[in-house]
Amino acid sequence: MIDFLKQLNVFALNAKDVNDHLPLDVQGEDAALADYTEAGITLHAAGAIYFDKDDDADIRSKFEYCKRAAIGVIVAGDPATRTLPRIEKFAREYDIRIAIHNHGPEDKVWPSPLEVLKAVNSMDPRMGCCIDVGHTVRAGRDVVQAIHQAGPRLFNIHMKDLTNFQSKDSQVAVGDGIVPVQKIFAALIATKYGGFVDLEYEAHPDDPMPGVIRSFDYMRGALEDMGISGPQSTRRLR
């Protein structure tokens, strides 16, 4: 992972709670954090992390995991609505933001960011959403409109591209599909979004780098065409 990041000139990572990213066990996590620090890589988020138990001890363990890594955003996968008040309590205690991730039409609770926003609207401002652009368009929602509706509740973006909005298996390198990438960037600029745009490239898992490189080249070019260059357009990856 570190070698890939260096090749991409990317020095911030949304880490997954798996052994080849950021292990959940304390010893493994400490070792990984030392490696990232030595390489000059910052962990800006963790997830998707799944909150599948409405239980203080289980939820606290995940906040402690992120606190040890100085991570300020937890991308939360599929939390039950009944669990949100308990998660909110820990978000306040640890001052860590929760970005609930939408998972498309297969997800009956959080298919799009709009369901997330409705659920967190009256909650602590540390409760918000991670917009997965691919899952959002597959849910039949306007992703650009969703960004505007989210406003300050938008804490993270998962970027991907598709050739068919009805098929999650149609993923291609960013720029090779029909997701409105440039309009998404324009909406993020218009809403003064201050978070990260994290590439989530799940195609060709045995050899992802050609598609990852192509995706970054396209996104950086799109940002440069919009007058944005430098660290803002080079540092972000999931």
Residue 25 resides in a domain: no
Residue 169 resides in a domain: yes
Residue 187 resides in a domain: yes
pLDDT category of residue 228 using cuts at 50, 70 and 90:
confident
pLDDT category of residue 227 using cuts at 50, 70 and 90:
confident
CA dist list (Å): 71 to 15, 22, 45, 96, 165: 10, 12, 5, 8, 33
Residue 165 resides in a domain: yes
Domain count, the chain: 1
Q: What is the 3-state secondary structure (H, E, C) of the chain?
A: CHHHHHHHCCCEEEECCCCCCCCCCHHHHHHHHHHHHHCCCEEEEEEEEECCCCCHHHHHHHHHHHHHCCCCEEEEECCCHHHHHHHHHHHHHHCCEEEEECCCCCCCCCCCHHHHHHHHCCCCCCEEEEEEHHHHHHCCCCHHHHHHHHHHHEEEEEECEECCCCCHHHEECCCCCCCCHHHHHHHHHHCCCCCEEEECCCCCCCCCHHHHHHHHHHHHHHHHHCCCCHHHHCCCEC
Going by C-beta distance under 8 Å and a sequence separation of 6 or more, which residues neighbour residue 88? 98, 123, 124, 126, 127
State pLDDT tens for residues 77-103.
Answer: 989 999 999 999 999 999 999 999 999
Asked whether the bond before 48 is cis by omega within 30 degrees of 0, the reply is yes
**Range of the structural domain that residue 49 is part of:** 43-233
Share of the chain above pLDDT 90, in %: 91
Residue 106 resides in a domain: yes
pLDDT category of residue 186 using cuts at 50, 70 and 90:
very high
**Per-residue confidence (pLDDT) for residue 230, from 0 to 100:** 58
Residue 24 resides in a domain: no
pLDDT category of residue 235 using cuts at 50, 70 and 90:
very low
Mean pLDDT computed over 114-130: 98
State pLDDT tens for residues 191-219.
Answer: 999 999 999 999 999 999 999 999 999 99
Residue 26 resides in a domain: no
Residue 9 resides in a domain: no
**What does the alpha-carbon distance between residue 211 and residue 216 come to, in Å, rounded to a whole number?**
9
Domain of residue 199, CATH code: 3.20.20.150
11: number of Cβ within 10 Å: 17
